[in-house]
Structure 1
Amino acid sequence: MDEQAPAPFYVDTSRASIARVYDYLLGGKENLEVDRRAADAMRNVVPEVGEIAKANRCFLRRAVRFLVRDAGIRQLLDIGSGLPSDGNVNEVAQAIDAGVRVVYVDNDPVVLAHARALLAVDEQTAVVTADLRRPEALFEQVTALGLLDLDAPFAVLLSGVVHHLSDDDDPVGILAAVREWLVPGSYMALSHFLDDGKSRAYALELAFLHGGLGSGRFRTWKELGGYFDGLELVEPGLVYANDWRPDEFTLAESPVHTLYAGGIGRKP
């Protein structure tokens, strides 16, 4: 695997990690007490919050299958990839076509260490240390890596990452910069916490922001729709995540159904 040189490995055990909190909610073992406390603060508000994490992973896998099997995409850029789990992007994609190339991007040292170990023998997959809040630098690093040809159609995966951008980070501007990198025929898949106008969304957002994690914005349909400006939405459009082309693994009924949305857009 071609990869960027590893950065010095350091873990701040005093602060919860987004990736490790998700790992805990998904039933993983790569988490610390500080992560479990943050997750439990959310569970105290919405006991089924773990179902959102599962909906996120399921949406991502369905999106990858669509992009590779139906849309013919052979290059995937997974930004904010999180800790490896069963059914990683490269596994799902390469089960359909072994030639699919995947670049994972994250800024968490724990994620990067696990990803490099997992992908050490996979020449079609690489990992890059970068931050979505600096999209130009991120894409320049991906270009320099040389695994993906960004002059040919590719797909950007933004699964459960944009809602960890604060309003001060300017997510509208960041997503516009991401879309600028898409060449015609490219796709962007996005899943995001949804403000459904009910009190649970507001209470859960407060738990994310003040329960130890420090980030997690629930945004409205209108706000999320703006992230797809200039793209053609793939059917069924921007919808509740579990309603986006559900498969046999998608929960037919979920207590958090209205708190998570997803969609895929195509650059015409």
Structure 2
Amino acid sequence: MRNIKLTISYDGTEFHGFQTQPNLRTVQGALQGRLEEVVGHPVSIIGSGRTDAGVHARGQVVNFHTSSRVPVEKWPIVCNVKLPNDLVVTAAEEVPEDWHARFNARGKVYRYLIDRGAYPDVFLRMYSYHYPYQMCVERMIEAAAHLPGRHDFTSFCAANTPVEDKVRTLTAVDLKEEGHLLSVTCRGEGFLYNMVRIIVGTLLEVGRGKISPDQIPAILQACDRKRAGVTAPAHGLTMWEVLYD
């Protein structure tokens, strides 16, 4: 059996998230179905992580095992010819038999895009959160500086997050302005459910003066979801890259 690693991109607008769900259109379901058509046997896709309904991906990574002899460089072609337009295989690589898209990942990069224009950008409406309010980006940058490091991120994940250990390491939270657009890029070893969206929602409240930058350490230490800001909408979030050695 060969182990094939695929890098995929998708527009999450019409998908009910990454993970297969009965009677719902998902990324895993669509890709798995196409792969099974190509190889002629059941396929089990392993993803680097899940994305929620409405969340996009530029560099999601999956792997699967197959007895097919399709040359590795041909996988993007044979997949894309019948994949839907909102899901594309961008690269393929043959990896060792025990390589695992999730367990071998050393980190992930997520980007959240905020449209600060007076009116929504019609061409970005599915990929950015329109937020036309006066904000102090400098205060947001000051607040974001408190987040990198190894912390218990209970305050910055959904209250119903099933995992018990909520300690994660963030290596960077960077804000960048380009015209009316503001991006928040989070890089870390791993992320909890809704973690990036809650970080963004909290930074937006900092920008509007509802939370002060120097409150961030206390919010972290509280381990209380109610202390952080709102959860920003899913459609502004993109899984940008998965990091491997």
TM-score strictly above 0.5? no
Higher helix share: 1
TM-score by length of 1: 0.25
Higher strand share: 2
Which structure has more relative contact order (CA 8 Å, sep 6+)? It is: 2
Larger Rg: 2
TM-score by length of 2: 0.27
